[in-house]
Structure 1
Amino acid sequence: MPESAPTERALQLLGLLQTRRSWPGSELAQRLGTDARTLRRDVERLRRLGYRIEAKRGPDGGYGLSTGSDLPPLVFTPDEALTTAAALASSAASGAAGGGELALTALAKIEQVMPTKVRRRVRALRSSVSLADSPNAASGAYPAPLDAGVLGVLALACRDHERVRLRYMHTAGPEAGLDLVRNVEPEALVPRGTRWFLIGRDADRGWRALRVDRITRAEPTGTRFSAQQVPGGDPVAFLSRQFGAPPRTHKATILIHAGLEQVQAYMGGFASDFTAVTLSTGEAATHWRIADVRLEVLAGGLLWVRWPFEVLDSPELVALLQERAQAFASAGGATQPLLP
């Protein structure tokens, strides 16, 4: 094997470990085309670089990455890199307390270490996104799935003023269910909530806001066009006029009477934004910041909290919990009313 093989194999191993919580050792060795002894050496090589890799013995044993206090390098595929860049750009658009600046800083750092081809697509994405006055997207809802290849083509087309040929899936009206060809002169990409929109001039329909997750294919045509101003002068304002004002985002800070490590160990797989706090009594506690456009989603998330907790700053959420408390008590067999 060439001398570089161990390094290449270690990077491949890292990429595999990042795709699953746990891998059987025999399957990892087979994927890497090596034996168990060489696999153990590769695991040790990654551990020396700062990766915390747990090994479990026995019939159900294997290897898996665990969380740690350090942040070692990550391995991204080109599509993962572009998708990460899209998420950071969307976060920058949200304007949440300093989060926008941090997102752009992180995006700039990622760009520096990307291969030239991927960097070109990411820079095009960053230059094509309209962020000014973009609606706050700090929501617990799941983002609409994006095709990284489509997003990259659209970003480059916006930057270079190049016409694109799209296949767009319609979900309403007489064209519902049809995947139709549309020729578009793209102007900007705008994140809104959990979705991305392409603002551009359709050759047959005029200015439109198209959902990127409904674009099944995007092809550059090689034909350049002279940029024209979006009606009203601003892509974000144009999108707001098309779809109305975004729904209000409800936010709440939950004080959980348990230490940060306990909370993260139990809830870290499906929640985030935890902060350690110390109460005046000396008790270790945790702040959990949650947000969604629906109060019911916030209330539902609290079912996962196994310790006593308090809602600190959302009277609306407190009122909803009080309203639903009797129903939960009845379902649990309580006979005495909880509210006067």
Structure 2
Amino acid sequence: MSDVSAVSRTLRLLSLLQTHRYWVGGELARRLDISTRTLRRDVERLRDLGYRVNANRGAAGGYHLEAGADLPPLVFTDGEAVALALSLRAAASSRLISEAAEITVAALAKLEQVLPARLRDRISSAHHNTELSIPNSSDGMVAPEVLAQLALACRDSERQLLTVTRDAGDEVARRVEPVRLVLFARRWYLICWDLDRDDWRTLRLDRIQAATGTDIRFGVRILPLEDAEAFVRSQLGSPPQTHSVTVVIDAEFEEVAARIGRWGSSLAPADAEHTIWKIESDHAEVLVGMVVWLQWPWRASGSAKFDALVQEAAGRFNSAAASETAVISGQIA
């Protein structure tokens, strides 16, 4: 048997060992269509590679994969790889991570590099046809394909052509050399060298509509500050204030969850008759809009600006309710 087929079979053995806690030796050999003697050789091959495969003797003897001191390479099926890529994209682009931000992006870059084209198509299709319920707000959402592309570009030092939306709403092209991705104040930023401006630039990723590789590599660029986050802070000034509000709703959890639907992923039962809803946004007005249509009594705490805006909104509602304006047959009288 060729070395190639032996390696392929060993990888399949590893994949099977990862799917079940314990395999009877005879069943495992039948699944691989090999003899028990060949199975023992393949198990030894895995052990030589650092995998801890334990064997039990006897009529029901078999094998199981144990955790070791180091994390060995893992084998994923196509479906598992798609699920993992979607999860990494979602976690990074939705900013549901903080301290592990750079690690998540690095893992995403490694996975994106080796994904076959057929799996990339499945991931793109799944992403565009799946709704991800993100708690809190949608401010600063990043296109997952942009994040993945720029993660690779930073790692591989590849020049990129960017399509960026400016504050005025118009789009502009940028030729850049990406250096670092930084999660700062709940937003992703790209630190890059702007080839047209011949200077450092810090770009918000949610403003980048497209990123295209050029296959042009560039040399190492040293940031003006050793700390990438400190550099972003120096470019942007003080981060925007985040408004966090805890809402206590006078209704059962199941009833509230059914009403709010996908927007209620941060809901939690307080007791049998009350529900807690924790929400946050860079804009307190967004939070007012989230609670104004609740059909149950509620109380909120956590943001003075939110409280003031609620009072203003209540005044407008009261004024509208007290108005003597009548609507008759669709006409205002």
Does TM, scored on the shorter chain, surpass 0.5?
A: yes
Aligned positions of 1:61-140 closer than 5 A: 76=82, 80-81=86-87, 83-87=89-93, 90-93=95-98, 116-117=114-115, 140=137
Aligned positions of 1:1-340 closer than 5 A: 76=82, 80-81=86-87, 83-87=89-93, 90-93=95-98, 116-117=114-115, 140-146=137-143, 148=145, 150-160=146-156, 162-169=157-164, 171=166, 177=170, 179-180=172-173, 182=175, 184-192=176-184, 195-204=187-196, 205-212=198-205, 213-214=207-208, 216-226=210-220, 228-278=221-271, 283-333=272-322
* Distance change >3 Å, CA 190–CA 307, structure 1 → 2: same
Q: Is the 8 A contact 1:267 1:304 kept in 2?
A: no
* Distance change >3 Å, CA 113–CA 155, structure 1 → 2: closer
* Distance change >3 Å, CA 320–CA 104, structure 1 → 2: same
| Paired residue secondary structure (1:328) | helix
The CA distance in 1 between the partners of 2:179 and 2:112, in whole Å, is 25
Q: Percent identity?
A: 30
CA RMSD of aligned residues (A): 4.1
Q: Deviations over 1:67-111 (max 9, x none)?
A: xxxxxx9995797455324236x3222x6xxxx69x979x98x99
* Distance change >3 Å, CA 245–CA 144, structure 1 → 2: same
Equivalent residue, structure 2, for 1:128: none
* Distance change >3 Å, CA 260–CA 334, structure 1 → 2: farther
Deviation at 1:188, TM superposition (A): 0.7
The CA distance in 2 between the partners of 1:290 and 1:185, in whole Å, is 37
Q: Is the 8 A contact 2:85 2:111 kept in 1?
A: no
Q: Is the 8 A contact 1:139 1:249 kept in 2?
A: no
| Paired residue secondary structure (1:304) | coil
The CA distance in 1 between the partners of 2:171 and 2:245, in whole Å, is 41
Structure number with bigger Rg: 2
Deviation at 1:238, TM superposition (A): 1.8
Question: TM-score, normalized by length of structure 1?
Answer: 0.55
The CA distance in 2 between the partners of 1:293 and 1:165, in whole Å, is 30
| Paired residue secondary structure (1:318) | helix
Equivalent residue, structure 2, for 1:122: none
The CA distance in 1 between the partners of 2:183 and 2:213, in whole Å, is 21
Number of residue pairs the alignment of both structures matches: 228
The CA distance in 2 between the partners of 1:200 and 1:254, in whole Å, is 40
Q: Which amino acid aligns with 1:155?
A: A
The farther-off stretch of 139-148 and 200-209 is 139-148
The CA distance in 1 between the partners of 2:218 and 2:109, in whole Å, is 27
Q: Is the 8 A contact 2:281 2:287 kept in 1?
A: yes
Deviation at 1:169, TM superposition (A): 3.5
Deviation at 1:320, TM superposition (A): 3.0
Q: Is the 8 A contact 1:201 1:208 kept in 2?
A: yes
Equivalent residue, structure 1, for 2:125: none
* Distance change >3 Å, CA 197–CA 303, structure 1 → 2: same
The CA distance in 2 between the partners of 1:112 and 1:242, in whole Å, is 29
| Paired residue secondary structure (1:248) | coil
Deviation at 1:260, TM superposition (A): 0.6
The CA distance in 2 between the partners of 1:275 and 1:265, in whole Å, is 13
- Structure 2 gaps, min length 5: 1-78, 117-134, 325-333
The CA distance in 2 between the partners of 1:141 and 1:253, in whole Å, is 18
Q: Is the 8 A contact 1:157 1:220 kept in 2?
A: no
